[in-house]
């Protein structure tokens, strides 16, 4: 069987994680081969290509013409995900893109349509779904909590203006701006947590929120957001997110889920507590067995493995375009709610451009 040939497009912070994860998968499995790397900075592409023994390209078009490449992973600035994915799918390539899948809902919908029309797979990278604590909660605990009635999520992170948004020419070319990053803490950092809330709690029906930029005067997009949700199953949800948390060493992410038989709390990547009515021991046994991830490529590797295995077995990959667009739609609803001071019903009927 010919191995699935993969090329990584965009070799910045996360593109390097893609390359490392895929190279590890190439060694660990029978069916993956990292064929090429692409970056507009040709010296960067050449450097990484040399390190990993693959082909360097400085444009995605050149990579798309290589018949050895079956899958393109997209790790470029967010506004490029949709046009690059659509182009790749026009060449008949399968695509796995970084989050957010697009900066507009219209762009995301185009991608879904193109994948269906061309019969190729489209996957979205929500690697937090592969974190052992989240999987344990989803597959072993959540049913035991009974009927869910409340979900709470908090993300308190820090992103420095100089070191993150204005770090270098590349960062300044897309971070912190509506038309290139698509949004701030919600669209970039917090989208993972929203994806998890939806995966655990089901779809959201109504959204209300406020966003603001309170501590990052050099950028356009929001650094702080709060929202409340009504889920389709009638559970209620609250969420607060920021990239303004100081001191930085106290950054944290918390998810709490309450059902009519018990509750569970995740802090960062650990199950912090599980309490189930009449079975408190079950809670402590889960806590003591809570696994951790050993390196930062682990979750991407697990997700790529799942995608590529699904491709080789002609199965559906669970985080496809239709799944990937859900969190983006909730985020757009929060922006709309904050702008118009309104409760927003989903699905959104308008194609808002922010």
Q: Is 13 in the site for ligand NAD (CB under 6 A)?
A: yes
Q: Is 107 in the site for ligand NAD (CB under 6 A)?
A: no
Cβ at position 68, least distance to ligand NAD in Å = 19
Q: Is 12 in the site for ligand NAD (CB under 6 A)?
A: yes
Question: Closest residue (Cβ) to ligand NAD?
Answer: 12
User: Where do runs of H (alpha helix) occur along the chain?
Assistant: 13-28, 42-52, 60-64, 81-90, 105-118, 132-136, 169-174, 178-181, 191-201, 280-289, 298-312, 321-340
Residue 215, helix vs strand vs coil: coil
CB 124 within 8 A of CB 323: yes
Q: Using CB under 6 A, count the residues that bind ligand NAD.
A: 25
Q: Is 78 in the site for ligand NAD (CB under 6 A)?
A: yes
Q: Is 89 in the site for ligand NAD (CB under 6 A)?
A: no
Q: Is 251 in the site for ligand NAD (CB under 6 A)?
A: no
**Triad 272, 127, 77: Cα angle to 5°:** 130
| C-beta of 170 vs 354, nearer to ligand NAD | 170
Report the alpha-carbon distance of residue 115 to residue 88 in Å, rounded. 10
Report the alpha-carbon distance of residue 193 to residue 200 in Å, rounded. 10
- Side-chain half-sphere exposure of 302, counting CA atoms within 13 A: 16
Q: Which residues contact 64 (CB under 8 A, 6 or more apart)?
A: 72, 87, 88, 91, 93
Q: Which of 6, 7, 8, 9 binds ligand NAD (CB under 6 A)?
A: 9
Nearest to 152 by CA among 251, 280, 269, 253: 253
Stretch that binds ligand NAD, among 72-80, 112-120, 144-152, 245-253 (CB under 6 A): 72-80
| C-beta of 14 vs 207, nearer to ligand NAD | 14
What the block records as the tokens of 316 is: 């559906």
Q: Is 127 in the site for ligand NAD (CB under 6 A)?
A: yes
Q: Is 177 in the site for ligand NAD (CB under 6 A)?
A: no
| C-beta of 42 vs 215, nearer to ligand NAD | 42
Cβ at position 328, least distance to ligand NAD in Å = 12
Q: Is 106 in the site for ligand NAD (CB under 6 A)?
A: no
Q: Is 241 in the site for ligand NAD (CB under 6 A)?
A: no
Site for ligand NAD in 142-171 (CB under 6 A): 170-171
CB 164 within 8 A of CB 250: no
Binding site for ligand NAD (CB under 6 A): 9-15, 38-41, 44, 60, 75-78, 80, 98-99, 125, 127, 170-171, 188
């Amino acid at each position: 069987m010919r191995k699935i040939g993969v090329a990584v497009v965009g070799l910045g912070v996360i593109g390097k994680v893609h390359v490392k994860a895929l190279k590890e998968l190439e060694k660990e499995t029978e069916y993956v081969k990292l064929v090429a790397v692409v970056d507009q900075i040709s010296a960067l592409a050449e450097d990484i290509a040399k390190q990993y023994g693959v082909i360097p390209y400085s444009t995605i078009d050149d990579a798309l013409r290589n018949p050895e490449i079956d899958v393109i992973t997209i790790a470029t600035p967010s506004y490029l995900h949709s046009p690059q994915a659509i182009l790749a799918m026009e060449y008949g390539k399968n695509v796995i893109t970084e989050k957010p899948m697009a900066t507009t809902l219209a762009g995301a919908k185009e991608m879904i349509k193109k994948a269906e029309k061309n019969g190729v797979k489209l996957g979205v990278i929500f690697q937090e779904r592969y974190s052992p604590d989240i999987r344990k909660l989803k597959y072993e605990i959540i049913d035991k909590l009974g009927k869910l009635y409340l979900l709470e999520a908090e993300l308190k992170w820090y992103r420095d203006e100089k070191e993150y948004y204005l770090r270098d020419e590349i960062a300044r070319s897309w971070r912190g701006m509506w038309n290139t990053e698509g949004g701030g803490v919600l669209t970039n950092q917090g989208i993972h947590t929203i994806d998890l809330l939806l995966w655990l709690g089901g779809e959201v029906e109504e959204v209300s929120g406020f966003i603001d930029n309170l501590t990052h005067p050099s950028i356009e997009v929001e650094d702080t957001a709060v929202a409340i949700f009504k889920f389709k199953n009638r559970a209620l949800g609250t969420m607060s997110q920021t990239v303004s948390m100081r001191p930085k060493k106290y950054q944290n992410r918390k998810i709490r889920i309450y059902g009519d038989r018990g509750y569970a709390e995740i802090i960062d990547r650990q199950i912090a507590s599980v309490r189930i009515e009449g079975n408190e021991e079950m809670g402590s046994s889960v806590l003591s067995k809570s696994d951790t991830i050993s390196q930062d490529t682990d979750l991407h590797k697990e997700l790529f493995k799942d995608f590529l295995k699904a491709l080789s077995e002609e199965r559906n990959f669970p985080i496809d375009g239709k799944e990937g667009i859900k969190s983006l739609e909730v985020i757009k609803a929060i922006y709309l709610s904050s702008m118009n001071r309104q409760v927003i019903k989903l699905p959104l009927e308008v194609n808002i451009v922010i």
